[in-house]
Structure formats: C-alpha cells, structure tokens
Amino acid sequence: MKISKETKIDLFTRMVRVRTFEDLTTVNFASGDMPGFLHLSQGEEAVAAGVCGAMRLEDAIYTTHRGHGCIIAKGADLNPMMAELFGRIDGCCKGRAGSMHFADVKTGCMGSNGIVGEGMRIALGTAFAQKYQKTDNVTAVFFGEGATGTGAFHESFNMAAVLKLPLIFVCSINLYAQMTPKSDHIAIENVSDRAAGYGAPGVIVDGNDIEAVFAEANKAIKHCRSGKGPYLIEAKTYRHHGHFEGDPCDYRPDGELEKWKKKDPIDLFEKKLKKEGVLDAKGIKAIKDEATKAVEGAVDFARKSPQPDVEELYKEILA
C-alpha cells in the first residue's frame, strides 16, 4: 500500500504522543501523586496508532486495562485524560474511571475495560447499532492474547460473523497474560487461525511495523464497511514495561526485553522516515517536543483540577 508523506507523519506523531504520555505517566505514578493501578503499553504503540490512524472519528473503539495508547491514537484530548488518571473532576469521566475505564465518546472511544475480554461483548453492541442504523461506520476492539481464551472472545466473534457486523478484532500479542507466557495458555501458534472457525479473515501482522499495521487496518476497515462481517488482526509485538507498574518482571528470560527494544516501533519508523527524506532530525525533534509540551501541559491541567466533591458519588447513578 502506498502511504502518503502526510499520513506517515501523522502515524509517527500518534505513536510519539502515546509514548510521551505513557513515559510521563510512569514518572508521575512512581512519585505517588497518581492514585490507582497502571498498565502501560510502551512498545505496542504501532498497533494502536496503525489501526486508529486508519479510522474515522465517528468509528468506534473499545480497549482494555492497557488502553491509554488506543485512546490517544484515536484523538482524545490529553488534558481530560491526564486529569482522569489523577482522579480529578475535569477528567474525561469526572475522575471516577481512572486508567482502566476511560471513555471519550466524542472521539469514538466508547470504553476501556478492566475485565479481560468483556470489551468484545460491548463492542458487538456498537457494531450492531452501526449496521442497524445503516451507517458504514465500524468498530475496532483491542485486546491481548490472554483474552482469546475467554468465552467473550468466541461468543462475540461467532455472533459478529453470523450477523455480519462491522467489527474488527485487534489482538495485540505482547507475549504475556499477566506473568503467564503465551505458550502456557494458548495451544496454537497463531490466534488469527481461530478466525477461520467463524468464516472470517484472520491475518498476522508485524506489530512493530506501523506501516504494515496501517495497511492491514485499511483492508479490515474496507471489508467491514462493505458489510462482509468481522475481521481479525493479530499484531505480534511486545510490552516494554511489566504487566503493571511496579511489576518486577522476574518471569522474563534474560535478554528478551533488550532484543525487543531493538525493534522499538518508534525508533524503526523514525529511521525509515529519515532514510526516505520524509522527516529530518529537526522535523523529528519538533514532533517530539510538541508531544512533550502537550503532555506536560496535561499534567499541569490535571494537577490544577480539583478533587471531586463527595456529592459527585451520588450523581449519574442508574438505579
């Protein structure tokens, strides 16, 4: 697929924004200023940016406990996202959701989910609505390989296939479900093979190659927009950080992280963009500086935002 210069710069910028946001979040969390529990996605940015970069604003996404990257890549405003992480009233969910239950409906980020696999069932509902209302919008649901062993995966895939719903299943293979290596809980090498069981396409893509992810996402979106039903993208990648912030990672074999860091998706694309003359060192620096400024601004915004009043707890409750 031929990717324009503008699109390449856009994809690179999305990845850099995600990385910068999560790196600064690491720092703020470590200092104890940020409450809650954090699962970060450094190393997996090409999956988030490659898929979201191919979507329209009105298309929907669902993510997981490791979902910041997808939401930023879909275009959510960083200030309310950061305020949400700090549990403040100006957060995108008024400080109630925290890291694992972010939502930003205006950019199509319909929800993250701390329950492994459950985002798929909810995404199924959105994909059904998109079809029922005769839009040609699509939904992408992101998850890790651990979620492919849940009933939610199989039930959702089956129903999406039977009803021919515009649902893209995006499995980011980061090699571990918590501390369990993939080979200890999945009996086959490639989870994309499972799509055949539902009569849908299932493809493998190098999850550290943003252009490859983007090209595959475009095929999946075209397939879904034309009413052909679901599509599974299996993106093979790696998470640089532990399962959660503070995870000692003693389950990883020596040298594994170093090996994957050599395939860092941002570094790889940066080198390629320079080689192709799309961006020079100055252009790269400008994108990184801009991301740093935006994320630092978001931290400042979050810190200045008040804590929610106790009365907030009693509002917007469905009973």
8 Å CB contact between 17 and 291: yes
Residue 154 C-beta: closest distance to ligand TPP, Å: 14
Instruction: For ligand TPP, give the closer residue by CB, 50 or 146.
Output: 146
8 Å CB contact between 131 and 166: yes
Selected binder of ligand TPP within 56, 106, 151, 178 (CB under 6 A): 178
65 binds ligand TPP (CB under 6 A): yes
Q: What is the CA radius of gyration of the chain?
A: 19
Instruction: For ligand TPP, give the closer residue by CB, 169 or 176.
Output: 176
48 binds ligand TPP (CB under 6 A): no
CA dihedral 238→240→245→249, nearest 10 degrees, is: 80
Site for ligand TPP in 203-242 (CB under 6 A): none
283 binds ligand TPP (CB under 6 A): no
Q: Residues binding ligand TPP: what is the number (CB under 6 A)?
A: 16
174 binds ligand TPP (CB under 6 A): yes
For every residue of 148-216, DSSP letters joined together read: GGSHHHHHHHHHHHHTT--EEEEEEE-SEETTEEGGGT-SSS-GGGGGGGGT--EEEEETT-HHHHHHH
Task: Please choose, from the candidates 99, 106, 71, the residue with its C-alpha nearest in 3D space to the C-alpha of residue 83.
Answer: 99
Site for ligand TPP in 88-127 (CB under 6 A): 114-116
Give the separation between CA 53 and CA 256, rounded to whole angstroms.
29
Selected binder of ligand TPP within 143, 198, 214, 231 (CB under 6 A): 143
Residue 72 C-beta: closest distance to ligand TPP, Å: 16
Residue 232 C-beta: closest distance to ligand TPP, Å: 15
Handedness of CA 44, 19, 67, 62 (dihedral sign): negative
Q: Half-sphere exposure of residue 182, counting CA atoms within 13 Å on the CB side?
A: 15
Residue 280 C-beta: closest distance to ligand TPP, Å: 35
Residue 39 C-beta: closest distance to ligand TPP, Å: 6
Selected binder of ligand TPP within 87, 144, 229, 242 (CB under 6 A): 144
Site for ligand TPP in 240-259 (CB under 6 A): 243
Which residue number is nearest to ligand TPP in terms of Cβ?
A: 144
Give the separation between CA 297 and CA 302, rounded to whole angstroms.
9
145 binds ligand TPP (CB under 6 A): yes
Q: Give the three-state DSSP class for 15.
A: helix
Residue 283 C-beta: closest distance to ligand TPP, Å: 32
Within the chain, what is the greatest distance between any pair of CA atoms? 59
Interface contacts to ligand TPP, rule CB under 6 A: 64-66, 114-116, 143-147, 174, 176-178, 243
